[in-house]
């Protein structure tokens, strides 16, 4: 889950200055996929991998601004089918296991031994899955808006739970689907997003995207449009993953938490997150001694909410200062 950042106004002075990547490339990862990868900041700095939301969201320049470019070597990439990666909106050979393998290849290509993970929403899911698969290459995790890819979370968002708080917006999400198919909205949208008519795919992609976008921020204004290709890629990829349980066993990320409990972690969670309710963050942190859970008041889900962005900058600056004090 999680749309591309930038739709909600934020206190820009809290962020680090904007800047351009010093390296960008298309990396061939096999299966016909080429991933857009960029590096930003200090080439000799502490590596941090940014994992975007969705699935399907893609990276944006805004995501660079949580990091002091004099200290961090920031790696961002668009996951398979997303953003500037090609082919766009493709779900072929596109699973969580493929994405984990892609991250391994990026790390090897960039000759990085260990790195921090910085991920929100689906990016938090992928951070946890990758870290549990390869804990020896992880220095720590900074997570935001935790999504554990459980059926209960999908039921909340696509089964009417969140709709109890936003009945008008929920009605708009339901409207394109005949009443007889509304018992499984993920499946109903899947039939339309993966039909043979690209125009029809696009028509159903917009309400899928708008439902999530409308709930992302505590004070967000529901949008009525989005770029067609972005909406299509986002909706198809997200629906593909959710139709398949995100290619994870039920409760896998909690079950396997012991594999990463030796690592430090910080969770930044909006107190009023309607996309990824705070119970998941609480359950993830509970009993993890090296995990710090920070509930952010008067905040929802989006990366770009003022208090969320401010807290994430504070956390990354705190890690920077600790590194400098220890001579790192």
The residues annotated as belonging to the active site are 121, 273, 301
Could you tell me which of 150, 226, 143, 154 has the C-alpha nearest to residue 185?
A: 154
HEC per residue, 171-220: HHHHCCCCHHHCCCHHHHHHHHHCCCCHHHHHHHHHHHHHHHHHHHCCCC
Q: What is the DSSP string of 112-180?
A: -S-EEEEEETHHHHHHHHHHHH-GGGEEEEEEES-----HHHHHHHHSSTGGGT-HHHHHHHHTTS-GG
Residues 40 and 74 sit within 8 Å (Cβ to Cβ): yes
Specify which residues 75 forms β-bridges with: 39, 49
- Please state, in angstroms and rounded to a whole number, the distance separating the CA atoms of residues 248 and 252: 6
- Please state, in angstroms and rounded to a whole number, the distance separating the CA atoms of residues 102 and 79: 8
CA-to-CA dists, residue 248 to 42, 90, 281, angstroms: 35, 20, 18
Residue 175 is encoded by which pair of tokens? Answer: 């409207």
Residue 77 is encoded by which pair of tokens? Answer: 């990439």
Q: Which residue has the tokens 């993830």?
A: 284
Specify which residues 118 forms β-bridges with: 50, 142
């Amino acid at each position: 889950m999680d749309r591309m950042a930038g739709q909600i106004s934020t206190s820009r002075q809290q962020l680090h200055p904007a800047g351009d990547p010093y390296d960008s490339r298309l990396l061939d990862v096999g299966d016909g996929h080429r991933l857009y990868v960029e590096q930003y900041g200090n080439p000799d700095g502490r590596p941090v991998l940014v994992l975007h939301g969705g699935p399907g969201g893609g990276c944006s320049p805004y995501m660079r601004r949580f990091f002091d470019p004099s200290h961090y070597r920031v790696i961002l990439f668009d996951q398979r089918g997303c953003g500037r990666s090609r082919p766009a909106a493709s779900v072929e050979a596109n699973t969580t296991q493929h994405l984990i393998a892609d991250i391994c290849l990026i790390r090897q290509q960039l000759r990085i031994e260990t790195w921090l993970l910085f991920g929100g929403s689906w990016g938090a899911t992928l951070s946890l899955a990758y870290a549990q698969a390869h804990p020896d290459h992880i220095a720590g995790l900074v997570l935001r808006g935790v999504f554990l890819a459980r059926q209960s979370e999908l039921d909340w968002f696509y089964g009417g739970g969140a709709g109890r708080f936003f009945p008008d917006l929920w009605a708009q999400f339901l409207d394109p689907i005949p009443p007889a198919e509304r018992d499984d909205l993920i499946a109903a949208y899947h039939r339309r997003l993966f039909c043979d008519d690209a125009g029809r795919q696009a028509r159903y992609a917009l309400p899928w995207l708008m439902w999530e976008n409308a709930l992302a921020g505590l004070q967000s204004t529901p949008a009525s449009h989005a770029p067609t290709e972005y909406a299509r890629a986002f909706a198809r990829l997200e629906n593909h993953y959710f139709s398949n349980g995100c290619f994870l066993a039920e409760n896998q990320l909690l079950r396997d938490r012991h594999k990463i409990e030796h690592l430090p972690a910080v969770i930044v969670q909006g107190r009023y997150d309607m996309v990824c309710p705070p119970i998941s963050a609480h359950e993830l942190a509970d009993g993890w001694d090296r995990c710090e859970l920070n509930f952010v008041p008067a905040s929802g889900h989006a990366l770009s909410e003022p208090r969320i962005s401010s807290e994430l900058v504070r956390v990354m600056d705190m890690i920077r200062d600790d590194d400098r004090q220890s001579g790192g």
